[in-house]
Structure 1
Amino acid sequence: MVSLEQARFACTYERTRCDRSFATIGDKSFATMSADSSARGRIRLLALDADGTLVGPDGVVRPAVKEAVAMAQDQGLLVVVCTGRRYRTARPILEELDLDGPVVVHNGVVVKNARTGETTEQHFLPDEFFAPVMEIMGDLGPPLVYVDRYFDGIDLYAEPSDRCHEFQAEYLESNPNVVHEVESVAALPTGSVVMISSMADSESLLTLKGRIEGQFGDRVQTNYIMNTNYRGHILEVTRAGVSKWTALAKICEGLGIAPSEIAAIGDDTNDIEMIINAGMGIAMGNAVDEVKRVADYETESNARDGVARAIERLLR
């Protein structure tokens, strides 16, 4: 597997060689990208975030984006969706875009075949962290426990919605078919937990995040991200060292694709590592500032077909 340090070195070298550095976000224009005539020749894989990137503010893949992704595939680029979604909720997007290669879900914890749903890679939370993490997160109400049981029709376990934060309750009530309700999530068997997650207001989740990081340090991974389709934010706890980028790097290693041959587009903090390490990192116009600061270029927002605009420029 390509290490994070190796990937960063490779991408730093490529960026230095091509003199693609910018002092401010405003300098990262697509005019500069179009002028880089060697850009298209280097890119073999297009890594795309879903919510806030591929998907518009209305939750739909816009026609221009769909056409641009098809154009990229027609020109030989491998398109890999890298999302925090679980496979079941990512699948409609994959089907609409007619993708049949790998898909990175659960922020890199699981990699599946986009067409069949078969798991090709998974990194469960070590048993030793389950109980203490549950204890901390339980202070905000019972968290969600995600598993990789797509073919059994179970994506996550949860306690009754009236016990949890109102934002999480809204999510549970909207997804009854794949939520397996139990009396106590803390009593669930360990060994196959994809992640532990809570949905709530920003202040409450950041407090939990600080406590978890204070107790476990880098022995677990925490992801604090926007809840694009519901209210508030999401705090996820997964196995340490797992991310969209680590999953993507392993996919690329198996295909003989170098980090410098990847273009990545995203909008939230869980996309930062991917955007830093890709040969070409592109921030959505609606991206958080942390993403814009590390990206090579900035495209339009997801309300203005930003992915389509980026692909069109990339393929010129």
Structure 2
Amino acid sequence: MSSIRLIVSDLDGTLLSEDNRLSDSVIDAVRRFRASGGLFTIATGRFGPSAQPIVDSLDIDIPYILCNGCVIADRHKIWETAQLPLGEIAPFLLGADQAGVTVLLFGEDGIRTLRATPETEYFVKREGLPCIPLDSGDETWPDRPVQKVVLIGEMNRIKPLWDRHRSGFASEYAAVQSEDHFFEIMPARQSKGEALKKLMVHLGVAPSEVMNIGNQLNDLDMIEQAGIGVAVANSHDELIRQASYVCRNSYGDGVVEAMERFAAIGSGSMGGGNHDH
């Protein structure tokens, strides 16, 4: 009998397919795990409205982690949230914008961007949510607290710019690469791993009873919290090095593979990928 009581999965690049869809095989595997008494939830960089369709499709009935750990919520309310003041980092964000990096500001009332770019068009198409450009004459935007900031662009352009600025900041910030071209800035000491610690206490689940699944560097401290830390096949090299299990399959097929191997749900009729070990 499996000792895994809780499975926590990242969304983009992990639970979702390459075209950001939730496959029938994933839905079926989650259903089988929950039918056996297991708990399933997500930990994602997305904010509430963007994650809601997946939460509804999987009928997740326990709290989940949003904005890379800045928010813990369920389908009815926000349990905990951390706000990111923009004032001190506004000059950095303006410099990034001038360097051709797309800047997205995530607030409870939606997503704002410093300017519309091809990257914002891609993001809108992927997430199905609008990114509203700030009014060019609006000088008050740094006064609005947000949940996180996402920069979209080349890491060899973003990271050096961030390193140059952050030494002059009086406040602390958490920063992590969440996708190949996504760099996220959050309030200090916020991460998926820190949020997961709180979630495990709330659910009364020990780390040894948890399997975490991810694909990017923002999943690293999360998979380190678990009894089984899983990297799907399409994961960042560093996550693969740190994972206790690396899937043969990518994206959602990798999640199903890990669930069938460690969560004792058996092979479903809709399961995808090669599960011969």
Instruction: Quote the residue 1:5 is aligned against.
Output: none
What letter is aligned with 2:197?
Answer: A
Partners of 1:176 and 1:102 lie apart in 2 by: 23
Deviation at 1:135, TM superposition (A): 4.2
Deviations 1:218-242 (CA, angstroms, capped at 9, x unpaired): 8111122325xxxxx1121110110
Partners of 2:142 and 2:105 lie apart in 1 by: 11
Contact 1:134/1:186 (CA < 8 Å) preserved in 2? no
Contact 2:10/2:215 (CA < 8 Å) preserved in 1? yes
Structure 2, unaligned runs of 5 or more: 265-277
Partners of 1:130 and 1:96 lie apart in 2 by: 37
Instruction: Quote the residue 1:97 is aligned against.
Output: 58
Instruction: Quote the residue 2:43 is aligned against.
Output: 82
Question: Aligned to 1:280, which of 214, 228, 238?
Answer: 228
Instruction: Quote the residue 1:6 is aligned against.
Output: none
Question: Aligned to 1:297, which of 226, 229, 245?
Answer: 245
1:46–1:207 CA distance, 2 compared to 1 (3 A): same
**Equivalent residue of 2:13, what SS?**
coil
- The answer to which of 134-143 and 66-75 deviates more is 134-143
Question: Aligned to 2:29, which of 68, 79, 96?
Answer: 68
Contact 2:20/2:126 (CA < 8 Å) preserved in 1? no
Instruction: Quote the residue 1:146 is aligned against.
Output: 106
Question: How do 1:1-316 and structure 2 match up within 5 A?
Answer: 40-41=2-3, 43-113=4-74, 115-116=75-76, 118-126=77-85, 129-140=88-99, 143-149=103-109, 155-161=110-116, 164=117, 166-171=118-123, 178-184=130-136, 187-188=140-141, 190=143, 192-216=145-169, 219-226=172-179, 233-302=181-250, 305-316=253-264
Partners of 2:169 and 2:225 lie apart in 1 by: 26
Deviations 1:46-97 (CA, angstroms, capped at 9, x unpaired): 1100011111112212221111111111122211100111222212211221
Deviation at 1:156, TM superposition (A): 1.4
What letter is aligned with 2:156?
Answer: E
1:127–1:174 CA distance, 2 compared to 1 (3 A): closer
Deviation at 1:123, TM superposition (A): 0.7
Partners of 2:121 and 2:139 lie apart in 1 by: 18
Partners of 2:235 and 2:126 lie apart in 1 by: 26
- TM-score when normalising by structure 2: 0.84
**Equivalent residue of 1:215, what SS?**
coil
Partners of 2:251 and 2:104 lie apart in 1 by: 30
Deviations 1:222-279 (CA, angstroms, capped at 9, x unpaired): 122325xxxxx11211101101111111111122222222110001000000111211
What letter is aligned with 1:215?
Answer: G
State the aligned residue count. Answer: 262
**Equivalent residue of 2:224, what SS?**
helix
**Equivalent residue of 2:198, what SS?**
helix
- TM-score when normalising by structure 1: 0.74
Deviation at 1:110, TM superposition (A): 1.2
Instruction: Quote the residue 1:27 is aligned against.
Output: none
Q: Name whichever structure is richer in helix by fraction.
A: 1
**Equivalent residue of 2:184, what SS?**
strand
- Indicate the percent of aligned positions where both proteins have the same amino acid: 29
Contact 1:130/1:190 (CA < 8 Å) preserved in 2? no
1:174–1:97 CA distance, 2 compared to 1 (3 A): closer
- The answer to which of 288-297 and 201-210 deviates more is 201-210
Contact 1:205/1:234 (CA < 8 Å) preserved in 2? no
Structure 1, unaligned runs of 5 or more: 1-36, 150-154, 228-232
1:176–1:269 CA distance, 2 compared to 1 (3 A): closer
**Equivalent residue of 1:277, what SS?**
coil
Partners of 2:197 and 2:107 lie apart in 1 by: 23
Alpha-carbon RMSD: 2.6
Instruction: Quote the residue 2:270 is aligned against.
Output: none
Deviation at 1:193, TM superposition (A): 1.2
**Equivalent residue of 2:46, what SS?**
coil
